[in-house]
Amino acid sequence: MAKKHVSTDDLIAVIIQGIEDVKGENIQLLDLREIENTVCDYFIICSGNSNTQVNAISGSVQKVVSKQLKDKPWHIEGQGNSEWVLMDYVNVVVHVFQKHVREFYDIESLWGDAKITEIKPA
């Protein structure tokens, strides 16, 4: 049976819902489509207050995406120490940081040419 194509907009909306369900903070959507040689179309970046919350956010995202869209990440990294978990959904890459790690790496600045949208809590 062929896998149903999931629209990027639907995927983004469901990922954000998964983050908000467990109180992920400072959610930003970076649109990378106008930048040459990027690995994906969008980054979604958010913060958690502890490794427990970072784990909860990544787990919530995986659960709601799986339940609503029947999709799962192509690859996940960082679940061992839960300071920075990366979930690769091919067109959309989700970065879940502990606050101090997010400040240290400051990937929003590295992608300064991206269009950044602040996602306000629902």
pLDDT, residue 6, reads 80
**What would the pLDDT profile of 58-103 be if each residue is shown by its tens digit?**
999 999 999 999 999 999 999 999 999 999 999 999 999 999 999 9
The model's confidence at residue 1, banded by pLDDT at 50, 70 and 90, is: very low
- Residue 75 to residues 44, 64, 83, 87, Cα–Cα distance (Å): 15, 17, 17, 6
pTM for this model (two decimals)? 0.93
Fold of 8-119: Beta Polymerase; domain 2 (3.30.460)
The tokens for 12 are: 């983004």
The tokens for 20 are: 């908000």
What's the average model confidence in pLDDT over 101-115?
Answer: 93
